[in-house]
């Protein structure tokens, strides 16, 4: 049984001061995560404040939204896995579609970033997803397989098992137009099959695959009803602590009913 994982991606929202207030309110609303993992990824500038506000709470995981692949050096503006680890980060998003779309992130970069995270003892969350054009031109499977294979190149065994993949169709992000479970589930199956081909069904069965794209407290249960969907990566609906706590409570209470 894979432990479910709910992640809030704050994107470029909240100051360090606001992050502290968010964490204090969230931990009031949701004192314990009861059998699922709940994490959130503030901007780099708010990581320290969020970590301080969390204190020693084991119930919430702190993550970053990106990482550079070198551990230190002359790379102006970048932040390394070593630095993130030191700030208390336990996971990091890699290859989010906004990085690919606005900052030219390539598949080969995502692979180097995944490797850098693993080297620093941080769990990578590799984000993949097709554009509307890809879907309309029947390229979804090809694009997803390419992103998964490239992002995971050279990663094996325990490292591969510890990976989290987030399937986020680009057309569903921030649009209020979530994929239906009927659209998402086949892609989740394809991702697991691709991982099985890379390293065998044993490792593949351990990798968690999350859905992201316009997830709200109203639709999360529909996704978690499928055994194929191991959690959610949430943008807009994670910014309010009450809304995020509600999402987590629904996730804690929902059991998969379909394969
Ligand atoms: P929304 O939930 O706002 O659609 O964002 C999804 C996302 O990009 C999470 O990484």
Name which of 178-182, 195-199, 206-210 the model is least confident about.
Answer: 195-199
Mean pLDDT, residues 1-25: 97
Whether residue 202 lies inside any domain: the answer is: yes
Query: Residue 209's domain spans which residues?
Result: 4-253
Residue nearest to atom 5 of ligand 1 (CA): 235
Whether residue 259 lies inside any domain: the answer is: no
Q: Indicate if the pLDDT at residue 258 is higher than 80.
A: no
Mean pLDDT, residues 50-62: 91
Q: Indicate if the pLDDT at residue 148 is higher than 90.
A: yes
d(CA 216, CA 237) in angstroms, rounded, equals 6
Ligand 1 centroid, distance to 99 Cα (angstroms) = 13
> 179-212 burial string, b = 16+ CB within 10 Å, else e?
bebeebbebbebbbebbeebbeeebbeebbbbbb
> Is 181's C-beta closer than 6 angstroms to any atom of ligand 1?
no
Q: Which candidate, 168, 167, 259, 157, places its Cα nearest to that of 198?
A: 157
Structure-block tokens of residue 31 = 């004192």
Ligand 1 centroid, distance to 236 Cα (angstroms) = 6
- Given a contact cutoff of 8 angstroms between Cβ atoms, the answer to whether 233 and 9 are in contact is yes
Whether residue 178 lies inside any domain: the answer is: yes
> Is 219's C-beta closer than 6 angstroms to any atom of ligand 1?
no
Ligand 1 centroid, distance to 235 Cα (angstroms) = 3
Q: How many helices (H) and strands (E) does the chain have?
A: 12, 8
Residue 255 is predicted with a pLDDT of 78
Q: Indicate if the pLDDT at residue 202 is higher than 60.
A: yes
* Percent of the chain clearing pLDDT 90 (strictly above): 90
Burial group, residue 63, by CB count within 10 angstroms (0-12, 13-18, 19+): buried
> Is 81's C-beta closer than 6 angstroms to any atom of ligand 1?
no
Supply the mean pLDDT for the chain: 96
| Number of structural domains found in the chain | 1
Q: Which residue has the tokens 């390394």?
A: 80
> Is 243's C-beta closer than 6 angstroms to any atom of ligand 1?
no
Look up the CATH number of the domain holding residue 59.
3.20.20.70
Whether residue 75 lies inside any domain: the answer is: yes
Query: Which atom of ligand 1 sits closest to the CA of residue 11?
Result: 10
Ligand 1 centroid, distance to 233 Cα (angstroms) = 7
pLDDT digits (tens, 9 = 90+) for 211-232: 999 999 999 999 999 999 999 9
> Is 174's C-beta closer than 6 angstroms to any atom of ligand 1?
yes
pLDDT digits (tens, 9 = 90+) for 91-133: 999 999 999 999 999 999 999 999 999 999 999 999 999 999 9
Name which of 118-122, 203-207, 217-221, 238-242 the model is least confident about.
Answer: 203-207
Whether residue 199 lies inside any domain: the answer is: yes
Whether residue 258 lies inside any domain: the answer is: no
Ligand 1 centroid, distance to 141 Cα (angstroms) = 21
Residue 259 is predicted with a pLDDT of 52
Query: Which atom of ligand 1 sits closest to the CA of residue 233?
Result: 9
Q: Which positions are annotated as active-site residues?
A: 96, 168
Whether residue 45 lies inside any domain: the answer is: yes
> Is 124's C-beta closer than 6 angstroms to any atom of ligand 1?
no
Query: Which atom of ligand 1 sits closest to the CA of residue 236?
Result: 3
Residue 254 is predicted with a pLDDT of 85
Whether residue 128 lies inside any domain: the answer is: yes
d(CA 83, CA 111) in angstroms, rounded, equals 19
């Amino acid at each position: 049984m894979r432990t479910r994982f709910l992640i809030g991606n704050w994107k470029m929202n909240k100051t360090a001061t606001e992050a502290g207030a968010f964490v204090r309110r969230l931990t009031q609303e949701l004192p314990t995560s009861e059998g699922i993992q709940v994490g959130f990824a503030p901007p780099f500038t708010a990581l320290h404040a969020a970590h301080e506000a969390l204190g020693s709470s084991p119930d919430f995981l702190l993550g970053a939204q990106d990482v550079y692949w070198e551990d230190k050096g002359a790379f102006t503006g970048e932040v390394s896995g070593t630095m993130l680890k030191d700030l208390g980060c336990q996971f990091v998003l890699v290859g989010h579609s906004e990085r690919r779309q606005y900052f030219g992130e390539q598949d080969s970069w995502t692979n180097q970033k995944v490797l850098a995270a693993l080297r620093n003892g941080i769990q990578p969350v590799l984000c993949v997803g097709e554009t509307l054009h890809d879907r309309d031109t029947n390229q979804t499977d090809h694009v997803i397989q390419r992103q998964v294979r490239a992002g995971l190149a050279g990663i094996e065994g325990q490292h591969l098992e510890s990976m989290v993949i987030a399937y986020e169709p680009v057309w569903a992000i921030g649009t209020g137009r979530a994929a239906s479970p009927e659209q998402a589930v086949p892609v989740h199956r394809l991702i697991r099959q691709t991982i099985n081909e890379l390293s065998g069904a044993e490792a593949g069965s351990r990798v968690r695959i999350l859905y992201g794209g316009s997830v709200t407290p109203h639709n999360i249960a529909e996704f978690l009803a499928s055994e194929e969907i191991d959690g959610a990566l949430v943008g807009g609906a994670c910014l309010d602590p009450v809304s995020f706590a509600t999402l987590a409570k629904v996730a804690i209470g929902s059991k998969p009913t379909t394969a």
